[in-house]
Structure 1
Amino acid sequence: MNHQRGEPIAFYYGTNQVDRLAAFGRVVLQGDAYSEQDIASLVVRGVRPLCYLSLTEDVGPPAEWQRDDRNPDWGGRFIHVGHPGWSEHVLNQARAMRRLGYRGFFLDTLNIELTYPDDLPHLLTLIAAIRELSYPDYLLANRGFGLLPQIADLVDGVLFESFTSRWVEGGYAPWPPDVLDVHARYAEMLLGLDVEVFALDYADTPRLAEYARERAARFGMPCFVSIRDLSIVPAQDS
Protein backbone atom coordinates (compact mmCIF):
# COMPACT_ATOMS: atom_id res chain seq x y z
CA MET A 1 0.00 0.00 0.00
CA ASN A 2 1.29 3.44 -0.90
CA HIS A 3 0.64 5.63 2.16
CA GLN A 4 0.37 9.30 1.29
CA ARG A 5 0.86 11.73 4.15
CA GLY A 6 2.05 15.30 4.49
CA GLU A 7 5.47 14.41 3.01
CA PRO A 8 6.29 11.27 1.01
CA ILE A 9 9.65 10.27 2.51
CA ALA A 10 12.25 11.08 5.18
CA PHE A 11 15.79 9.87 5.83
CA TYR A 12 16.86 10.00 9.47
CA TYR A 13 19.85 8.23 11.01
CA GLY A 14 19.36 9.52 14.57
CA THR A 15 17.17 8.26 17.41
CA ASN A 16 13.87 9.33 18.96
CA GLN A 17 11.75 11.72 16.86
CA VAL A 18 8.93 9.19 16.36
CA ASP A 19 6.29 11.94 16.49
CA ARG A 20 8.03 14.01 13.81
CA LEU A 21 8.61 10.95 11.64
CA ALA A 22 4.88 10.22 11.75
CA ALA A 23 4.39 13.13 9.32
CA PHE A 24 5.92 11.08 6.49
CA GLY A 25 4.62 8.26 4.34
CA ARG A 26 7.93 6.38 4.46
CA VAL A 27 10.95 6.79 6.70
CA VAL A 28 14.42 5.31 6.21
CA LEU A 29 16.05 4.46 9.55
CA GLN A 30 19.15 2.74 10.87
CA GLY A 31 17.97 -0.73 11.79
CA ASP A 32 18.85 -0.94 15.47
CA ALA A 33 18.18 2.72 16.31
CA TYR A 34 14.53 2.07 17.13
CA SER A 35 12.73 -0.42 19.32
CA GLU A 36 10.06 -2.81 18.16
CA GLN A 37 7.54 -0.60 19.98
CA ASP A 38 8.74 2.54 18.17
CA ILE A 39 8.48 0.84 14.79
CA ALA A 40 5.00 -0.45 15.62
CA SER A 41 3.99 3.06 16.65
CA LEU A 42 4.99 4.35 13.22
CA VAL A 43 3.19 1.53 11.42
CA VAL A 44 -0.12 2.09 13.23
CA ARG A 45 0.08 5.76 12.25
CA GLY A 46 0.26 4.81 8.59
CA VAL A 47 4.02 5.17 8.17
CA ARG A 48 6.10 2.55 6.34
CA PRO A 49 9.50 2.27 8.08
CA LEU A 50 12.35 1.15 5.81
CA CYS A 51 15.57 -0.27 7.24
CA TYR A 52 18.95 0.78 5.90
CA LEU A 53 21.03 -2.00 4.31
CA SER A 54 24.51 -1.53 2.85
CA LEU A 55 25.10 -4.07 0.08
CA THR A 56 28.75 -3.44 -0.85
CA GLU A 57 30.37 -2.03 2.31
CA ASP A 58 30.78 -3.47 5.79
CA VAL A 59 31.43 -1.49 8.98
CA GLY A 60 31.46 -4.63 11.12
CA PRO A 61 34.39 -6.62 12.52
CA PRO A 62 36.92 -8.23 10.16
CA ALA A 63 35.37 -10.92 7.97
CA GLU A 64 36.43 -13.08 5.05
CA TRP A 65 34.22 -11.24 2.55
CA GLN A 66 35.90 -7.87 3.13
CA ARG A 67 38.36 -6.27 0.73
CA ASP A 68 41.42 -4.43 2.00
CA ASP A 69 40.20 -1.04 0.78
CA ARG A 70 37.89 1.22 2.78
CA ASN A 71 35.41 3.92 1.89
CA PRO A 72 37.42 7.09 2.62
CA ASP A 73 34.31 9.04 3.67
CA TRP A 74 32.62 6.62 6.06
CA GLY A 75 35.30 4.04 6.89
CA GLY A 76 33.54 0.82 5.93
CA ARG A 77 35.43 -1.90 4.10
CA PHE A 78 34.47 -2.69 0.54
CA ILE A 79 33.08 -6.18 -0.06
CA HIS A 80 33.47 -9.13 -2.40
CA VAL A 81 29.75 -9.00 -3.17
CA GLY A 82 29.61 -12.51 -4.58
CA HIS A 83 31.03 -14.10 -1.42
CA PRO A 84 28.35 -16.48 -0.07
CA GLY A 85 29.13 -15.44 3.49
CA TRP A 86 28.34 -11.83 2.67
CA SER A 87 25.03 -12.74 1.05
CA GLU A 88 24.00 -14.73 4.10
CA HIS A 89 25.13 -11.91 6.41
CA VAL A 90 22.93 -9.40 4.56
CA LEU A 91 19.96 -11.74 4.39
CA ASN A 92 20.25 -12.49 8.11
CA GLN A 93 20.19 -8.74 8.76
CA ALA A 94 17.08 -8.44 6.62
CA ARG A 95 15.35 -11.30 8.44
CA ALA A 96 16.12 -9.75 11.84
CA MET A 97 14.83 -6.35 10.79
CA ARG A 98 11.62 -7.81 9.40
CA ARG A 99 11.05 -9.52 12.74
CA LEU A 100 11.54 -6.13 14.39
CA GLY A 101 8.70 -4.77 12.30
CA TYR A 102 10.32 -2.96 9.37
CA ARG A 103 8.16 -2.92 6.25
CA GLY A 104 10.92 -2.69 3.67
CA PHE A 105 14.54 -1.84 3.00
CA PHE A 106 16.68 1.00 1.69
CA LEU A 107 19.45 -0.57 -0.38
CA ASP A 108 22.57 1.58 -0.24
CA THR A 109 26.11 1.54 -1.69
CA LEU A 110 25.02 0.23 -5.09
CA ASN A 111 27.30 2.42 -7.22
CA ILE A 112 30.20 0.06 -7.86
CA GLU A 113 30.23 0.18 -11.67
CA LEU A 114 33.48 2.16 -11.71
CA THR A 115 35.26 0.46 -8.80
CA TYR A 116 34.23 -3.21 -8.95
CA PRO A 117 32.27 -3.70 -12.19
CA ASP A 118 32.72 -7.48 -12.09
CA ASP A 119 30.57 -7.51 -8.95
CA LEU A 120 27.51 -5.99 -10.65
CA PRO A 121 25.93 -9.38 -11.54
CA HIS A 122 26.48 -10.55 -7.95
CA LEU A 123 24.84 -7.37 -6.70
CA LEU A 124 21.76 -7.99 -8.83
CA THR A 125 21.62 -11.54 -7.48
CA LEU A 126 21.78 -10.24 -3.91
CA ILE A 127 19.01 -7.70 -4.54
CA ALA A 128 16.89 -10.46 -6.07
CA ALA A 129 17.42 -12.57 -2.93
CA ILE A 130 16.33 -9.66 -0.73
CA ARG A 131 13.28 -9.20 -2.94
CA GLU A 132 12.34 -12.87 -2.58
CA LEU A 133 12.90 -12.79 1.18
CA SER A 134 10.99 -9.58 1.83
CA TYR A 135 8.15 -9.62 -0.70
CA PRO A 136 5.77 -7.75 -0.62
CA ASP A 137 7.77 -5.27 1.47
CA TYR A 138 8.96 -2.06 -0.17
CA LEU A 139 12.48 -1.95 -1.65
CA LEU A 140 14.08 1.43 -2.32
CA ALA A 141 17.41 1.46 -4.19
CA ASN A 142 19.89 4.31 -3.83
CA ARG A 143 21.02 5.27 -7.32
CA GLY A 144 22.40 1.98 -8.71
CA PHE A 145 22.70 3.40 -12.20
CA GLY A 146 25.13 0.68 -13.24
CA LEU A 147 22.33 -1.83 -12.61
CA LEU A 148 19.80 -0.17 -14.93
CA PRO A 149 17.44 -1.23 -16.33
CA GLN A 150 17.45 -4.65 -14.64
CA ILE A 151 17.15 -3.26 -11.13
CA ALA A 152 13.74 -1.79 -11.98
CA ASP A 153 12.32 -5.33 -12.03
CA LEU A 154 13.53 -5.96 -8.47
CA VAL A 155 12.72 -2.78 -6.53
CA ASP A 156 9.71 -0.54 -5.97
CA GLY A 157 11.51 2.80 -5.93
CA VAL A 158 14.83 4.47 -6.72
CA LEU A 159 16.37 7.30 -4.75
CA PHE A 160 18.46 9.86 -6.59
CA GLU A 161 20.78 10.90 -3.77
CA SER A 162 22.50 14.25 -4.25
CA PHE A 163 20.43 15.07 -7.32
CA THR A 164 20.96 18.84 -7.16
CA SER A 165 23.28 19.62 -4.24
CA ARG A 166 26.00 17.92 -2.25
CA TRP A 167 28.24 18.42 0.72
CA VAL A 168 31.66 19.89 0.07
CA GLU A 169 34.57 20.81 2.28
CA GLY A 170 33.21 23.36 4.72
CA GLY A 171 29.60 23.33 3.62
CA TYR A 172 27.12 22.52 0.87
CA ALA A 173 26.77 23.60 -2.76
CA PRO A 174 24.86 22.84 -5.94
CA TRP A 175 26.50 20.64 -8.53
CA PRO A 176 28.08 22.49 -11.48
CA PRO A 177 25.94 22.76 -14.62
CA ASP A 178 27.57 19.88 -16.49
CA VAL A 179 26.86 17.47 -13.63
CA LEU A 180 23.29 18.77 -13.30
CA ASP A 181 22.80 17.99 -16.98
CA VAL A 182 24.03 14.42 -16.51
CA HIS A 183 21.77 14.00 -13.49
CA ALA A 184 18.82 15.29 -15.49
CA ARG A 185 19.40 12.61 -18.13
CA TYR A 186 19.54 9.90 -15.46
CA ALA A 187 16.36 11.26 -13.90
CA GLU A 188 14.55 11.08 -17.25
CA MET A 189 15.76 7.50 -17.65
CA LEU A 190 14.48 6.57 -14.18
CA LEU A 191 11.14 8.24 -14.76
CA GLY A 192 10.67 6.05 -17.83
CA LEU A 193 10.83 2.91 -15.68
CA ASP A 194 8.07 1.33 -13.59
CA VAL A 195 9.41 2.57 -10.24
CA GLU A 196 8.76 5.48 -7.92
CA VAL A 197 11.57 8.03 -7.98
CA PHE A 198 12.65 10.26 -5.08
CA ALA A 199 15.44 12.79 -4.54
CA LEU A 200 17.64 13.34 -1.49
CA ASP A 201 19.68 16.52 -1.37
CA TYR A 202 21.99 18.19 1.12
CA ALA A 203 21.82 21.85 2.14
CA ASP A 204 22.41 24.12 5.11
CA THR A 205 20.57 27.23 3.91
CA PRO A 206 16.87 27.73 3.07
CA ARG A 207 17.82 29.09 -0.35
CA LEU A 208 19.80 26.00 -1.39
CA ALA A 209 17.17 23.68 0.09
CA GLU A 210 14.39 25.41 -1.86
CA TYR A 211 16.42 25.28 -5.06
CA ALA A 212 16.87 21.52 -4.62
CA ARG A 213 13.17 20.96 -3.96
CA GLU A 214 12.09 23.10 -6.90
CA ARG A 215 14.47 21.39 -9.31
CA ALA A 216 13.37 17.91 -8.19
CA ALA A 217 9.73 18.97 -8.55
CA ARG A 218 10.34 19.83 -12.19
CA PHE A 219 11.12 16.13 -12.69
CA GLY A 220 8.16 15.00 -10.58
CA MET A 221 10.40 13.74 -7.78
CA PRO A 222 9.55 14.31 -4.10
CA CYS A 223 12.71 15.70 -2.47
CA PHE A 224 13.90 15.39 1.11
CA VAL A 225 16.62 17.86 2.13
CA SER A 226 18.92 17.26 5.09
CA ILE A 227 22.52 17.55 6.23
CA ARG A 228 25.36 15.16 5.51
CA ASP A 229 24.85 12.72 8.40
CA LEU A 230 21.03 12.72 8.12
CA SER A 231 20.74 13.58 11.81
CA ILE A 232 17.82 16.01 11.63
CA VAL A 233 14.11 15.78 10.87
CA PRO A 234 12.89 19.09 9.51
CA ALA A 235 9.76 20.42 11.22
CA GLN A 236 6.70 20.09 9.01
CA ASP A 237 4.19 22.85 8.48
CA SER A 238 0.95 22.19 10.26
Structure 2
Amino acid sequence: MTQPIAFYYGAGELDRLSGFDKVVLQADFYRPDELDLLRGRGTQTLGYLSLTEDVGPPAPWHRPEHNPDWGGAFVHTGDPRWVAHVLEQAREAIGKGFRGLFLDTLNIEQTYPEDLPHLLYLIAAIREETQPEYLLANRGFGLLPQLADLVDGVLFESFSARWVDAGRYAPWPDDVLEVHASVAERLLGLDVDLYALDYADNDELCDFARRRAREFGMLCFVSDRVLSRI
Protein backbone atom coordinates (compact mmCIF):
# COMPACT_ATOMS: atom_id res chain seq x y z
CA MET A 1 0.00 0.00 0.00
CA THR A 2 1.52 3.31 -1.06
CA GLN A 3 1.74 6.44 1.07
CA PRO A 4 0.37 9.78 -0.21
CA ILE A 5 3.42 12.03 -0.60
CA ALA A 6 7.13 12.43 0.13
CA PHE A 7 9.50 15.38 -0.02
CA TYR A 8 13.07 14.29 -0.65
CA TYR A 9 15.92 16.59 -1.64
CA GLY A 10 18.56 13.90 -2.03
CA ALA A 11 19.32 11.67 -5.02
CA GLY A 12 18.55 8.05 -5.81
CA GLU A 13 16.40 5.98 -3.43
CA LEU A 14 14.11 4.96 -6.28
CA ASP A 15 12.80 1.85 -4.56
CA ARG A 16 11.80 3.76 -1.45
CA LEU A 17 10.31 6.64 -3.46
CA SER A 18 8.20 4.12 -5.35
CA GLY A 19 6.25 3.61 -2.15
CA PHE A 20 4.57 7.02 -2.53
CA ASP A 21 1.81 8.31 -4.80
CA LYS A 22 3.61 11.65 -5.24
CA VAL A 23 7.22 12.66 -4.63
CA VAL A 24 8.69 16.18 -4.66
CA LEU A 25 12.29 16.09 -5.90
CA GLN A 26 15.10 18.44 -6.89
CA ALA A 27 14.88 18.58 -10.66
CA ASP A 28 18.65 18.42 -11.24
CA PHE A 29 19.13 15.28 -9.13
CA TYR A 30 17.25 12.82 -11.36
CA ARG A 31 17.77 11.53 -14.89
CA PRO A 32 14.92 10.98 -17.36
CA ASP A 33 15.29 7.20 -17.06
CA GLU A 34 14.92 7.40 -13.28
CA LEU A 35 11.81 9.53 -13.63
CA ASP A 36 10.43 7.06 -16.18
CA LEU A 37 11.06 4.22 -13.73
CA LEU A 38 9.11 6.00 -11.00
CA ARG A 39 6.30 6.79 -13.40
CA GLY A 40 6.14 3.15 -14.45
CA ARG A 41 5.70 2.18 -10.82
CA GLY A 42 2.79 4.58 -10.44
CA THR A 43 4.61 7.41 -8.67
CA GLN A 44 3.88 10.96 -9.83
CA THR A 45 7.05 13.09 -9.75
CA LEU A 46 6.94 16.82 -8.99
CA GLY A 47 10.00 18.97 -9.70
CA TYR A 48 10.99 21.71 -7.28
CA LEU A 49 10.64 25.30 -8.52
CA SER A 50 11.33 28.49 -6.55
CA LEU A 51 9.25 31.46 -7.68
CA THR A 52 10.50 34.38 -5.55
CA GLU A 53 14.07 33.43 -4.59
CA ASP A 54 17.11 32.66 -6.73
CA VAL A 55 20.17 30.74 -5.55
CA GLY A 56 21.97 31.31 -8.85
CA PRO A 57 24.71 33.83 -9.65
CA PRO A 58 23.99 37.59 -9.48
CA ALA A 59 21.29 38.53 -11.96
CA PRO A 60 19.43 41.71 -12.93
CA TRP A 61 16.18 40.48 -11.34
CA HIS A 62 17.75 40.16 -7.87
CA ARG A 63 16.81 42.39 -4.96
CA PRO A 64 19.61 43.42 -2.56
CA GLU A 65 18.12 41.30 0.24
CA HIS A 66 18.79 37.58 0.70
CA ASN A 67 16.98 34.83 2.58
CA PRO A 68 18.82 34.65 5.93
CA ASP A 69 18.18 30.91 6.32
CA TRP A 70 19.01 29.56 2.86
CA GLY A 71 21.03 32.35 1.23
CA GLY A 72 19.03 32.82 -1.96
CA ALA A 73 18.46 36.32 -3.32
CA PHE A 74 14.92 37.68 -3.25
CA VAL A 75 13.79 38.67 -6.73
CA HIS A 76 11.56 41.19 -8.47
CA THR A 77 8.87 38.66 -9.32
CA GLY A 78 7.40 40.74 -12.10
CA ASP A 79 10.69 41.27 -13.95
CA PRO A 80 10.12 39.79 -17.44
CA ARG A 81 13.62 38.28 -17.38
CA TRP A 82 12.81 36.42 -14.14
CA VAL A 83 9.51 35.24 -15.59
CA ALA A 84 11.33 33.91 -18.66
CA HIS A 85 13.96 32.25 -16.45
CA VAL A 86 11.36 30.46 -14.32
CA LEU A 87 9.33 29.36 -17.32
CA GLU A 88 12.45 27.88 -18.90
CA GLN A 89 13.17 25.94 -15.68
CA ALA A 90 9.59 24.68 -15.65
CA ARG A 91 9.74 23.60 -19.29
CA GLU A 92 13.04 21.80 -18.70
CA ALA A 93 11.64 19.89 -15.73
CA ILE A 94 8.53 18.78 -17.62
CA GLY A 95 10.61 17.96 -20.69
CA LYS A 96 12.91 15.83 -18.56
CA GLY A 97 10.03 13.69 -17.42
CA PHE A 98 8.59 15.29 -14.30
CA ARG A 99 4.83 14.99 -14.34
CA GLY A 100 4.22 18.13 -12.31
CA LEU A 101 5.82 20.95 -10.34
CA PHE A 102 6.17 21.99 -6.72
CA LEU A 103 5.96 25.78 -6.43
CA ASP A 104 7.97 27.07 -3.48
CA THR A 105 8.69 30.46 -1.84
CA LEU A 106 5.19 31.83 -2.35
CA ASN A 107 4.75 33.43 1.10
CA ILE A 108 5.75 37.01 0.28
CA GLU A 109 2.65 38.76 1.62
CA GLN A 110 4.61 40.21 4.57
CA THR A 111 7.80 41.11 2.70
CA TYR A 112 6.84 42.14 -0.84
CA PRO A 113 3.04 42.37 -0.98
CA GLU A 114 3.28 44.51 -4.10
CA ASP A 115 4.56 41.43 -5.95
CA LEU A 116 1.53 39.25 -5.22
CA PRO A 117 -0.24 40.07 -8.53
CA HIS A 118 2.99 39.30 -10.40
CA LEU A 119 3.25 35.99 -8.58
CA LEU A 120 -0.27 35.00 -9.57
CA TYR A 121 0.55 35.88 -13.17
CA LEU A 122 3.71 33.73 -13.00
CA ILE A 123 1.82 30.71 -11.64
CA ALA A 124 -0.82 31.10 -14.35
CA ALA A 125 1.91 31.31 -16.99
CA ILE A 126 3.55 28.14 -15.67
CA ARG A 127 0.22 26.31 -15.87
CA GLU A 128 -0.44 27.51 -19.43
CA GLU A 129 3.10 27.04 -20.76
CA THR A 130 3.89 23.58 -19.38
CA GLN A 131 0.46 21.92 -18.95
CA PRO A 132 1.63 19.89 -15.92
CA GLU A 133 -0.37 16.97 -14.60
CA TYR A 134 -0.20 18.46 -11.12
CA LEU A 135 0.76 21.77 -9.54
CA LEU A 136 1.41 21.82 -5.79
CA ALA A 137 1.80 25.21 -4.09
CA ASN A 138 3.69 25.66 -0.85
CA ARG A 139 1.67 27.98 1.39
CA GLY A 140 0.95 31.10 -0.70
CA PHE A 141 -1.86 32.11 1.62
CA GLY A 142 -1.61 35.74 0.55
CA LEU A 143 -2.67 34.57 -2.93
CA LEU A 144 -5.95 33.04 -1.79
CA PRO A 145 -8.56 32.47 -3.05
CA GLN A 146 -7.23 33.05 -6.58
CA LEU A 147 -4.42 30.53 -6.05
CA ALA A 148 -6.93 27.70 -5.71
CA ASP A 149 -8.01 28.25 -9.32
CA LEU A 150 -4.45 27.78 -10.59
CA VAL A 151 -3.12 24.79 -8.65
CA ASP A 152 -4.24 21.27 -7.80
CA GLY A 153 -2.97 21.12 -4.23
CA VAL A 154 -1.72 23.35 -1.41
CA LEU A 155 0.97 22.37 1.07
CA PHE A 156 1.04 23.83 4.58
CA GLU A 157 4.74 23.62 5.39
CA SER A 158 5.56 23.49 9.10
CA PHE A 159 1.90 23.25 10.06
CA SER A 160 2.40 21.78 13.53
CA ALA A 161 6.11 21.23 14.15
CA ARG A 162 9.28 23.05 13.20
CA TRP A 163 13.04 23.16 13.35
CA VAL A 164 14.37 25.54 15.98
CA ASP A 165 17.83 26.85 16.81
CA ALA A 166 20.54 24.46 18.00
CA GLY A 167 19.20 21.69 15.80
CA ARG A 168 16.13 20.98 17.91
CA TYR A 169 12.61 20.28 16.73
CA ALA A 170 9.49 21.34 18.60
CA PRO A 171 5.77 21.99 18.19
CA TRP A 172 4.69 25.53 17.51
CA PRO A 173 3.48 27.52 20.54
CA ASP A 174 -0.27 27.39 21.16
CA ASP A 175 -0.92 30.87 19.75
CA VAL A 176 0.79 29.98 16.46
CA LEU A 177 -1.06 26.66 16.28
CA GLU A 178 -4.33 28.59 16.61
CA VAL A 179 -3.38 30.91 13.74
CA HIS A 180 -2.41 27.92 11.60
CA ALA A 181 -5.69 26.23 12.45
CA SER A 182 -7.67 29.25 11.24
CA VAL A 183 -5.77 29.20 7.94
CA ALA A 184 -6.34 25.46 7.62
CA GLU A 185 -10.07 25.93 8.09
CA ARG A 186 -10.03 28.44 5.27
CA LEU A 187 -8.18 25.96 3.05
CA LEU A 188 -10.82 23.32 3.74
CA GLY A 189 -13.33 25.50 1.91
CA LEU A 190 -11.31 25.42 -1.31
CA ASP A 191 -11.40 22.81 -4.06
CA VAL A 192 -7.76 21.67 -3.73
CA ASP A 193 -5.89 18.73 -2.23
CA LEU A 194 -4.35 19.59 1.15
CA TYR A 195 -1.00 18.44 2.48
CA ALA A 196 1.12 19.18 5.53
CA LEU A 197 4.91 18.99 5.79
CA ASP A 198 6.29 18.99 9.31
CA TYR A 199 9.75 18.70 10.83
CA ALA A 200 10.43 16.37 13.74
CA ASP A 201 13.09 14.06 15.16
CA ASN A 202 11.17 11.79 17.54
CA ASP A 203 8.12 9.55 17.43
CA GLU A 204 6.07 11.67 19.81
CA LEU A 205 6.45 14.83 17.73
CA CYS A 206 5.87 12.90 14.49
CA ASP A 207 2.66 11.43 15.87
CA PHE A 208 1.49 14.87 17.03
CA ALA A 209 2.06 16.35 13.56
CA ARG A 210 0.30 13.53 11.72
CA ARG A 211 -2.65 13.46 14.10
CA ARG A 212 -3.17 17.21 13.90
CA ALA A 213 -2.91 17.21 10.10
CA ARG A 214 -5.64 14.56 9.91
CA GLU A 215 -7.93 16.76 12.02
CA PHE A 216 -7.75 19.40 9.27
CA GLY A 217 -8.05 17.09 6.29
CA MET A 218 -4.36 17.15 5.38
CA LEU A 219 -2.14 14.31 4.23
CA CYS A 220 1.08 14.66 6.24
CA PHE A 221 4.75 13.94 5.61
CA VAL A 222 7.34 14.38 8.37
CA SER A 223 11.06 14.80 7.74
CA ASP A 224 14.17 16.65 8.89
CA ARG A 225 14.94 20.29 8.09
CA VAL A 226 16.85 19.56 4.88
CA LEU A 227 14.43 16.86 3.66
CA SER A 228 17.04 14.12 3.62
CA ARG A 229 14.82 11.49 5.24
CA ILE A 230 12.22 9.29 3.55
State the TM-score, normalized to the length of structure 2: 0.98
**Structure 2 counterpart of 1:208:** 205
**Structure 1 counterpart of 2:129:** 133
**Structure 2 counterpart of 1:147:** 143
Q: What are structure 2's unaligned runs of at least 5 residues? A: none
Contact 2:199 2:224 (C-alpha < 8 Å) held by counterparts: yes
Matching residue within 217, 225, 230 for 2:227? 230
**Structure 1 counterpart of 2:50:** 54
How big is the shift at 1:218?
A: 1.1
**Could you say what the CA RMSD is over the residues aligned between the two structures, in angstroms?**
0.7
Counterpart Cα distance in 2 of 1:206 and 1:134: 40
State the TM-score, normalized to the length of structure 1: 0.95
Counterpart Cα distance in 1 of 2:49 and 2:7: 13
Counterpart Cα distance in 2 of 1:33 and 1:192: 36
How big is the shift at 1:136?
A: 4.5
Contact 2:101 2:132 (C-alpha < 8 Å) held by counterparts: no
**Structure 1 counterpart of 2:116:** 120
**Structure 2 counterpart of 1:173:** 170
Counterpart Cα distance in 2 of 1:30 and 1:167: 21
| Post-superposition CA distance 1:118-144 (Å, at most 9, x none) | 000000000000011222420000000
Counterpart Cα distance in 2 of 1:196 and 1:9: 12
Residue pairs, 1:180-219, within 5 angstroms: 180-219=177-216
How big is the shift at 1:101?
A: 0.2
Contact 2:209 2:220 (C-alpha < 8 Å) held by counterparts: yes
How big is the shift at 1:106?
A: 0.4
Counterpart Cα distance in 1 of 2:84 and 2:96: 18
SS at match of 1:40: helix
Counterpart Cα distance in 1 of 2:177 and 2:52: 26
**Structure 2 counterpart of 1:236:** none
| Identity in percent | 65
Counterpart Cα distance in 2 of 1:62 and 1:219: 41
**Structure 2 counterpart of 1:10:** 6
**Structure 2 counterpart of 1:97:** 93
How big is the shift at 1:219?
A: 1.2
SS at match of 2:42: coil
- Amino acid in the other structure paired with 2:2: G
Counterpart Cα distance in 2 of 1:178 and 1:7: 31
Q: Does 1:75 align with 2:71?
A: yes
- Amino acid in the other structure paired with 1:224: F
Task: Tell me the number of residue pairs that the alignment of Structure 1 and Structure 2 aligns.
Answer: 229
Counterpart Cα distance in 2 of 1:12 and 1:158: 17
Q: What are structure 1's unaligned runs of at least 5 residues? A: 234-238
SS at match of 2:12: coil
SS at match of 1:52: strand
